[in-house]
Structure 1
Amino acid sequence: MYNFNRLSELIELAKKEQLSIVDIIIGREQELTNKSRGEIRAKMAKALTVMRESVEIGLSEDIKSTSGLSGGDAKLLIEAQKKGATVTGTLLSSAIAKAIAVAEVNAAMGRIVAVPTAGSCGILPGALLAVAEAKDLDDEAIIDGLFVASGIGLIIAKQATVSGAEGGCQAECGSAAAMAAGAIVYMLEGKEEQVLDAVAIALKNVLGLVCDPVAGLVEVPCIKRNAGGATNSLMAAELALAGIKSHIPADEVIIAMKKIGQALAPQLKETSLGGLAVTPTGCKLKDEILSK
């Protein structure tokens, strides 16, 4: 009953059944797992708890990855915020700091929620938790946003991919930004069509983004791309909530992303054989890490 493969189908189903997007996504999960609505929401609440914990660890503890390439940047951002030395303002700066915090925890082998992948794990919690704090939203609203994000991610995975090895970083950080953008619009009571516009805008902005991790590690440039993804999601939500539409429908953007990923050279899809990974500095860092 609650089956959908495209974002347009999800919206149509919600309207037909006179239910919210969240109700449809939870209903689908109930059909697949035979679990109660309460059990499903409780499981999502646990995911939110892990997200918060990873943010807190990244912002407060002195963490460092084994490679030495990452750790401590989120704390630097927090210190700048405390001094009032931000260019972007409180909300965006907070989202960036949180996104980097989670990505740094991941690089240090800490516990995170892979949404939709470990390499893009900071984008959704960074953006959603920053918006929730700024707008004084409760946990139930955030959990609703996470369900909306999960539905968007499911559809992207079905129609295209969320794998950097298959589609480049557009499929990882791009999908995460699209998930976050749609979730934020929903959390702020935007219309269903605005959710789709936010998804389309966020994903369009990073079409063609390659996956080129230095030394094959999810650190450089991945962590800063999480900051970029969080920024992208907030911008896309801002445009969509203002009534600005995407001329290309979200479902078509997803298919375009898939085709672009298929066209990308293997060197640009998580192999570390192209892009930033083979710059002189990228090669030097790789040699230094491998020599340890």
Structure 2
Amino acid sequence: MNIQSMEELIVACQSEQKNIGEMMLMLEVEKSGKEEETIIRMMEERLIKMKEAVDNGIKDRSTAPSGISGGDAVKMFEYTTQGKSLSGIYISDAMTYSLATSENNARMGVIVATPTAGAAGILPGVLFSLLKNDHFSHQELVMGLFTASMLGYVIANRSFISGAAGGCQAEVGSATAMAAGTIVELKGGTPEQAVNATAIAMKSLLGLVCDPVAGLVEVPCIKRNVIGTSIAFSAADLALAGVESRIPCDEVIEAMYMIGKEMPRTLKETSLGGLAATETAKQVKERVFCKKS
């Protein structure tokens, strides 16, 4: 089985009478030679690691070694539990869990790269919000990880997933797109709707630059993860309502690739442009590296 595009993925789902997550599991069995039960168990282990990162993050007020991030997940958790959120419980919880995961990463905790460490907060943020508010089972979330993997597999093979290669559109953009399609499938949407959600989410983040302050995956990366969760839910809602992307998903991915190729190196993880080049960012960099020395 050879799936290299979203169009081929939809056709394969129709032909095999399977959803996107099931197609990924089938593909992994074929490519790895492992038993299905073994692969599912390995994915379950990744879900557990995601949950541990969330649980650690929502109660840890400490700062990262850099001193420029940490403690915001606790603030968001307390704010949300007080019923003050304007975003609704799904998005508020997802934002909280995304913060928790990304801050755990900044503290050198264990995270699951989905698809990269710099974008690792988006998918767990979305998944554990759904777990809490829709009472999905852990097994359903495991299949959601397979859905995200299939979408990420196509994106990675057709474009970028790293900020150094394609800007933050390739990291947070890809993760948000993967999460949007996953929400749709978990909520009972069709493969076509999941792919439309993927396209809508990715379109919303085209051109996003990678400009980490002091070269660290903290500012603005952590908060971009948080915002990615809200875009994922918005894109999923549109797709589940029957709204389609006017530009096919494969062409959106191609556009992301072309934008990444044209993006100057100063805006691709070099910390030479964007927010990393602001006066405050320069002061932060000097403080961080003086502290380390």
Is the counterpart of residue 83 in structure 1 residue 82 in structure 2?
yes
Matched residue type, 1:91: Y
Match of 1:226? Answer: 225
> Does the 8 Å CA contact 2:23/2:150 hold for their aligned counterparts?
no
Rounded to whole Å, the distance in 1 between the matches of 2:112 and 2:16 is 31
Matched residue type, 2:61: D
Alignment of 1:143-292 (within 5 A): 143-292=142-291
Rounded to whole Å, the distance in 2 between the matches of 1:131 and 1:237 is 13
> Does the 8 Å CA contact 1:63/1:105 hold for their aligned counterparts?
no
> Does the 8 Å CA contact 2:115/2:175 hold for their aligned counterparts?
yes
Q: Which 4+ residue blocks in structure 1 deviate beyond 4 angstroms? A: none
Is the counterpart of residue 104 in structure 1 residue 103 in structure 2?
yes
Matched residue type, 2:129: A
> Does the 8 Å CA contact 2:184/2:197 hold for their aligned counterparts?
yes
Rounded to whole Å, the distance in 2 between the matches of 1:88 and 1:12 is 36
SS of residue paired to 2:58: helix
Alignment of 1:41-120 (within 5 A): 41-120=40-119
Shift of 1:132: 2.4
> Does the 8 Å CA contact 1:163/1:171 hold for their aligned counterparts?
yes
Match of 1:17? Answer: 16
> Does the 8 Å CA contact 2:22/2:143 hold for their aligned counterparts?
no
Shift of 1:20: 2.6
The aligned length equals: 291
**Where in structure 2 are there 5+ consecutive unaligned residues?**
none
Shift of 1:17: 2.1
Matched residue type, 1:247: R
SS of residue paired to 1:41: helix
Rounded to whole Å, the distance in 1 between the matches of 2:68 and 2:94 is 22
Rounded to whole Å, the distance in 2 between the matches of 1:270 and 1:191 is 36
Shift of 1:89: 2.0
Q: Mean Cα displacement is larger for which, 46-55 or 5-14?
A: 5-14
Rounded to whole Å, the distance in 2 between the matches of 1:249 and 1:232 is 18
| Identity %, equivalent residues | 47
Matched residue type, 2:100: A
Rounded to whole Å, the distance in 2 between the matches of 1:203 and 1:279 is 27
Shift of 1:31: 1.2
**Where in structure 1 are there 5+ consecutive unaligned residues?**
none
SS of residue paired to 2:64: coil
> Does the 8 Å CA contact 2:13/2:191 hold for their aligned counterparts?
no
Shift of 1:61: 2.2
Q: TM-score, normalised by structure 2?
A: 0.98
SS of residue paired to 1:60: coil
> Does the 8 Å CA contact 2:21/2:148 hold for their aligned counterparts?
no
Matched residue type, 2:164: A
Rounded to whole Å, the distance in 2 between the matches of 1:143 and 1:63 is 30
Rounded to whole Å, the distance in 2 between the matches of 1:18 and 1:226 is 33
Q: Mean Cα displacement is larger for which, 85-94 or 187-196?
A: 85-94
Rounded to whole Å, the distance in 2 between the matches of 1:30 and 1:85 is 46
Shift of 1:171: 0.2
Matched residue type, 2:126: A
Seen in structure 2, the aligned counterparts of structure 1 residues 81 and 23 have a Cα distance that, compared at 3 Å, is closer
SS of residue paired to 1:4: coil
Matched residue type, 1:160: S
